[in-house]
Chain A
């Protein structure tokens, strides 16, 4: 396996950083190599000089011996001649010359042994000395004989065998000595030269070996550094949380890839065809991909290459993971893939989308409570026709295929309107199933469509949706139905009757008072404590907090017990769910972030109501991160609401107000923009519909507060205000909507 993987990837993911690269410093090695080279060179030179000096002194000594030998020969010859002439002529004058030479000879003879330590030379010198002594003795005798006038005997002595033998031996040995000296000089010179040469060669060799060692060492350090650098890059890539891999025109993955690729693909991708990794199922898409990428690698036109890359699939689902893929052409006809695992993002997105759908469903349910509950009743009746009296069942059974089909279709439409997606989806499948059935069946079976209805599945789906409502709004949402939905018309009628009676000129005095009291009671019957309405959001946040990974203190609804008209205020209060959810999802930071910011780990979301003389104020806020104004401005520019200059000159309240625009906040960047996502436009709409206003106060890092002010026309606690006693015209909502749109 070779990869970008650091060798210690399994054991030590955090290797200690090196200290200054000291161990890889080459300077001491360089200095050492220079020093050793210098010492070697010095030793070599010294040795050569020393050897030559030694050689020269040796030569001087040996040549002195040679010279002495020559002198010996000369002196001996001189003395021999003097002795011979003297014996031949009988002239003793020659003895003087002889005697004058004798000390020189002795001196030379003494000197020779001191000039050498060679045993052989000394031995030879000793023999020469013996020969000379013999010669000198004979010559001395000859001179004695001459002085006695016995020339003849002297001459006989000097020409005798003994004299001649010693003379010959002396001469031969002296010449031999000279030869030996010459030979010694030659040998010594040759030896010294050889030794110097050997020394030089071995010095050179040592130097060479040392240089190699240093070079190899430096090369190793270089390689090690390069490896370390590569390992560091690999470490960075392996821990970047992204997958990096290379492939060439054969589409086989290069053995060098980042560790994350193995996790992403669930196997070692080295050498595998890219299409096998990205398209485990194969198919025509894989073939197209392979063909396109191959062409792409040979494409020389950058613009074309870039255009085609932008068309390549950039998201893959592999082994249950969602991968985001970027394509980067690299030299040598290769391409690099940068892969990001976005599984968690996709999951969160889908969770957010589900949550959005759920909230939207709840708001719709609150807004259309009675219609929704009626529809559910009718749907249950339709499905449970089996349990109904035979007449009802027969009525349904006798319905034609088209009627059954149409009813399914109608219910599908209705439930989709109410955003009950489980039921809607199940009805959609039922519809498709029935359509297929209808198309394939024989005419004889025409009346049997009803029995093919998957009633239990549909009831299950309905129950799932109902459970969502029950969890968010409580059981009373269903139980409250009878007193609101069905009797409401009667109730309205009664209210109108009482109002008419109050204003009737026939009504007088005490009766008038009684009627007013009755009207008040009637009004109170429909009113709900605002805390109860807002409390649902608090309950909801408690449940949602865990899903978002945030922790919050329980949300308390503070303020006076104000009774409000749910018919008027209900949709508005329901829409506040977006404000609460946004505070939780986008406002409150994660516990880690809060801890880092020095805040209480648990976030605080608060809600306060205040009832003034003319208005009801609801404050919803959090102590979270606040709104990121820069991101908001950027999004507003991107959404085309303002241009760059305009946005710069916006006052802060105006800028913050942009948060209510879906166009701004539903761009892809929304979720990163400290938040305020989806649905705030709906809140603004509901507020404006009631002639209310909303202010946003936000401080970065400190939190955001939404302050809603509504005319207190919907509050029973302040019955003197306009609008309290008047039942809203059914068209009011539409008109307000139009106004708001205008």
Chain B
């Protein structure tokens, strides 16, 4: 299975750390992390990762807007939302906007793996 380069967008250092370690155990590479939506857009253009995990609530630009911005410039971007149960409607908006999948908090290795595998099934080029 190919290793993916993953960019993690989350303002919680704990979540970033947990996601990074799970991604690494799954054999993926962390291309970069950032803690605001605005930076996410800039970083995406620079790093061009295979996959982005996107938090929903962040300072300066929320995850949905960041997702929309990234997708308008890079329509092929594969973005997976990271969210909690209470934010389902927001995730639906994000998926409608073009996010490919979502990971519900609290997550574990299995959940993350499943979410990525589902995207891989849909986009075999990954």
Contacts and interface: CB of A to CB of B under 8 A. Distances in A.
B46 interface: no
Contacts of B102: 307, 311
A311 B96 contact: no
Contacts of B92: 288, 292, 308, 311-312
Given A308-B96, A311-B102, A303 B88 contact: no
Nearest to A313: B88
Given A303-B122, A307-B101, A307-B102, A295 B88 contact: no
Contact of A311 (B88, B100, B110, B122): B88
B89 interface: yes
Nearest to B123: A303
B67 to A, nearest CB: 14
B95 interface: yes
A304 interface: yes
* Chain B interface size, under 10 / 10 to 19 / 20 to 34 / 35 or more: 10 to 19
Contacts of A312: 88, 92
A304 B79 CA distance: 13
A589 to B, nearest CB: 33
Interface string A554-591: 00000000000000000000000000000000000000
Contact of A307 (B89, B100, B110): B100
A308 B102 CA distance: 10
Interface string A284-312: 01001000100100000001100110011
> In the complex, which of the residues B95, B100, B102, B122 has the most CB atoms of chain A within 10 Å of its own CB atom?
B95
A295 B91 contact: no
Contacts of B101: 307
A307 B88 contact: no
A277 B92 CA distance: 22
Contacts of A304: 95-96
Interface in A394-421: none
Interface string B58-99: 000000000000000000000000000000110110011000
A298 B88 CA distance: 20
Tell me what chain B mostly uses at the interface: helix, strand, loop, or mixed.
helix
> In the complex, which of the residues A288, A307, A308, A640 has the most CB atoms of chain B within 10 Å of its own CB atom?
A307
A307 B79 CA distance: 13
Nearest to A640: B110
A308 B88 contact: no
A304 B99 CA distance: 9
A298 to B, nearest CB: 11
A292 B91 CA distance: 11
B89 A295 contact: no
A327 to B, nearest CB: 13
> In the complex, which of the residues A285, A292, A313 has the most CB atoms of chain B within 10 Å of its own CB atom?
A292
B64 to A, nearest CB: 14
A238 B88 CA distance: 32
B102 to A, nearest CB: 7
A706 to B, nearest CB: 31
Contacts of A311: 88, 91-92, 95, 102
A303 B100 CA distance: 8
> In the complex, which of the residues A285, A304, A640 has the most CB atoms of chain B within 10 Å of its own CB atom?
A304
Contacts of B95: 304, 307-308, 311
A308 B100 CA distance: 10
A347 B15 CA distance: 35
Nearest to A289: B89
A60 to B, nearest CB: 95
A740 B91 CA distance: 44
A288 B89 contact: yes
B89 to A, nearest CB: 5
A307 B88 CA distance: 11
Contacts of B96: 292, 295, 304, 308
27 contacts: A285-B89, A288-B89, A288-B92, A292-B89, A292-B92, A292-B96, A295-B96, A303-B100, A303-B122, A304-B95, A304-B96, A307-B95, A307-B100, A307-B101, A307-B102, A308-B92, A308-B95, A308-B96, A311-B88, A311-B91, A311-B92, A311-B95, A311-B102, A312-B88, A312-B92, A313-B88, A640-B110
Given A288-B89, A304-B96, A308-B95, 16 more contacts: A285-B89, A292-B89, A292-B92, A295-B96, A303-B122, A304-B95, A307-B100, A308-B92, A308-B96, A311-B88, A311-B91, A311-B95, A311-B102, A312-B92, A313-B88, A640-B110
Interface of A: 285, 288, 292, 295, 303-304, 307-308, 311-313, 640
Q: Lowest 8 CB-CB distances: which A-B pairs, in order?
A: A303-B122, A288-B89, A311-B92, A311-B88, A307-B95, A292-B92, A308-B95, A311-B91
